[in-house]
Amino acid sequence: MHTIPFIPENAPFSHEQRSWLNGFLAGLYSQAPTATAVPADLPPSLKISVLYASQSGTAERLARKITKELKSRGHIPTLTSLEGYTPATLMAESYAILIASTYGDGDAPEAVRPFYEQLCLQHFPCAQNLNYAVLSLGDSSYEYFCKFGIDLDNKLASLAANRICERVDCDIDLDAAFTQWKSTLFSRLDDIVAARPARTAQSSSIPTSPNLPATRPQSPTHTRETPYLAPLVDKRALTCDISTKLTLHVAFNIADSGISYEAGDACGVIPQNDTHLVNEILNVLNFTGSVPVQLPKAGSTTLRDALLNHLQITRLTRKIIEAYATIGNCQTLFNLLVPEQQSHLEKYTYDRGLIDLLHDYPGVLREPADLVAMLPRLSPRLYSISSSPSAHAGEIHTTVAVVRYRSHNRERGGVCSTLIADRKNAGESLPIYIQPNKRFRLPSDSAAPIIMIGPGTGIAPFRSFLHERRALGHTGRNWLFFGERSAATDFLYRDELHAMHSDGHLNRLDLAFSRDQDRKIYVQDRMLEQASTLWQWLQDDASVYVCGDASRMAKDVDATLHTIAEQQGHLTREAAVEYVRQLKDQNRYHRDVY
């Protein structure tokens, strides 16, 4: 047994600093399971907070699974989103399981940022009573892989909280990692329960029912695992033939599906790779498509089916390169994987796919099983729903920008958007499910004004909002900022928007066509032009919604909102930051960006 060092009374620290450091040392020396802080005289089941930070629902789904299994193992779990949760509440927990996804440049999901900011800013001297475990979710094709989960784990450790088990960082193909983490976690929880003193007379009165409802039950009819094969009933271009881009209006029939959704939700589409590309890969490798292979989730299938429907073949990641280099013992690729070569690795993987790797480094793969094992799972793609459940009964509409580009002497296409554009026609079906987006809802007050900022495909949820408000008779004013490349070729839903503007349902419509003049004009330029009216709407309790490109647009629009608050509200920079923060706290600033 090891002794835990402590800071003596006469050390040159304040009382608070000393207790923080003592807690830190206690945490540092408590890696062994027996050192986990076990509250005495509690029954052999644990009250466990299952917390999730999720944007598109994966972390939430896993948290639900964990909660269910904890219950069946006799524990008392409660399931909560970190959105609106406070660090102080976390510090008061004895056991917390955190499942956290990463967004942006390695950030927390949008709605969870206030929680993390508070956790970092507030002074918590010590969290040594907290026993916790983190599962972080991410996608290794992003630069900051799983960074939020990693930061959260490190932050809690630095506050002297005790890790129940080591964090696991899951890539998009997360099933195996999740199962492994879960089994370690459960066995550590078993250790903790086994190490607890026998139940006392007093503690036996504590309710231990494993059947307490941990959360509102949710039983969606069709999920990512059990999607609905929805007939495509309409597909038409919203951009003109001569446009520099193609954006489609796509309608699915869901009349017989039992699917329901709310304005603001997204539609998940399970994609399929391009047959031509799959054939090319099989040819290059000299593999037969009918050869049987084993997939972790789908089980036994053919190699062709695995490449068409289950595996990601169009993007390269560090993990793929690592696996390929190892199979082929390929020194040139190993050289690319050293930390100093990170930018070269990123340059290589940025706009290449599996086919490029096979051409550039031939003769490596001899076994179909090696190919299958090195590729991540093909993930669903999300599309903001552009129809309204009240106005477009029995249908789901989406607004899809088709991704096409040329790189390394090859025409390339986005898997899902080109599937919809080129390989599926009206009358054929696609597997879909609803991805609820509880943070992106119309205001509960039907008379409240809304300001919607949605350039490009960002228009999608706002078409839904406008139709929904009209169908439900909401009296609140509606203001839309829309932008695209050119008015003549890219004015998505032009006639509908003009009609709603003419009849007064859309009170204001401000347009920014970026390429119709020498200087680029964007939605945020229009916001600035209308700053005083926009500020007035905010004083009238308007809610602000932003949807579309995350990498540049959403950041610039956010900066513009701060500028307007500074200029129109005569606020300092700090006060403007506080003002926008309050808008978020009041549920009046929502972003759905990708």
Ligand X SMILES: Cc1cc2nc3c(=O)[nH]c(=O)nc-3n(C[C@H](O)[C@H](O)[C@H](O)COP(=O)(O)OP(=O)(O)OC[C@H]3O[C@@H](n4cnc5c(N)ncnc54)[C@H](O)[C@@H]3O)c2cc1C
Ligand Y SMILES: Cc1cc2nc3c(=O)[nH]c(=O)nc-3n(C[C@H](O)[C@H](O)[C@H](O)COP(=O)(O)O)c2cc1C
Q: Report in angstroms the alpha-carbon separations of 291 from 295, 371, 548, 572.
A: 13, 12, 42, 67
Site for ligand Y contains 109 (CB under 6 A): yes
Q: Could you tell me the smallest distance in angstroms from the CB atom of residue 457 to ligand X?
A: 4
Q: Which of 81, 457, 464, 530 binds ligand X (CB under 6 A)?
A: 457
Percentages helix, strand, coil for the chain (3-state, rounded to 5) are 40, 20, 40
- Taking phi over 0 as left and psi of -120 to 50 as alpha, with beta for the rest, 134 belongs to beta
Q: How many residues lie near ligand Y (CB under 6 A)?
A: 23
Q: Could you tell me the smallest distance in angstroms from the CB atom of residue 590 to ligand NAP?
A: 18
Interface positions, 306-325, toward ligand Y (CB under 6 A): none
Binding mask 523-542 for ligand NAP (x = CB under 6 A): xx------------------
Number of neighbouring beta carbons within 10 Å of residue 480? 25
Stated as kind and residue range, the H or E segment containing 345 is: helix 342-350
Site for ligand X contains 416 (CB under 6 A): yes
Q: Which of 38, 50, 59, 557 binds ligand Y (CB under 6 A)?
A: 59
Site for ligand X contains 237 (CB under 6 A): no
Q: How many residues lie near ligand X (CB under 6 A)?
A: 23
Q: Which of 130, 137, 375, 583 binds ligand Y (CB under 6 A)?
A: 137
**Of these partners, ligand NAP, ligand X, ligand Y, none, which one is at the site of residue 138 (CB under 5 to 8 Å by kind)?**
ligand Y
Q: Could you tell me the smallest distance in angstroms from the CB atom of residue 490 to ligand NAP?
A: 7
In whole angstroms, give the CA distance from residue 329 to residue 322: 10
Question: Helix axis angle, 573-585 relative to 113-121, nearest 10°?
Answer: 130
Q: Could you tell me the smallest distance in angstroms from the CB atom of residue 177 to ligand Y?
A: 11
In DSSP notation, 536-559 reads HHHHTT-EEEEEE-TTTHHHHHHH
Site for ligand NAP contains 455 (CB under 6 A): yes
For 442, list phi and psi in degrees, rounded to 5.
-60, 155
CB closer to ligand X, 160 vs 307: 307
Site for ligand X contains 513 (CB under 6 A): no
Binding mask 128-167 for ligand X (x = CB under 6 A): ----------------------------------------
Beta strands 429-435 and 228-237 are antiparallel
Tell me the three state secondary structure of residue 350: helix
Site for ligand X contains 291 (CB under 6 A): no
Site for ligand Y contains 553 (CB under 6 A): no
CB closer to ligand X, 114 vs 456: 456
In whole angstroms, give the CA distance from residue 583 to residue 455: 22
In whole angstroms, give the CA distance from residue 376 to residue 170: 11
Q: Which of 136, 162, 239, 399 binds ligand X (CB under 6 A)?
A: 399
In whole angstroms, give the CA distance from residue 303 to residue 289: 5
Binding site for ligand Y (CB under 6 A): 54-59, 101-104, 106, 109, 137-139, 142, 144-147, 172, 550, 594
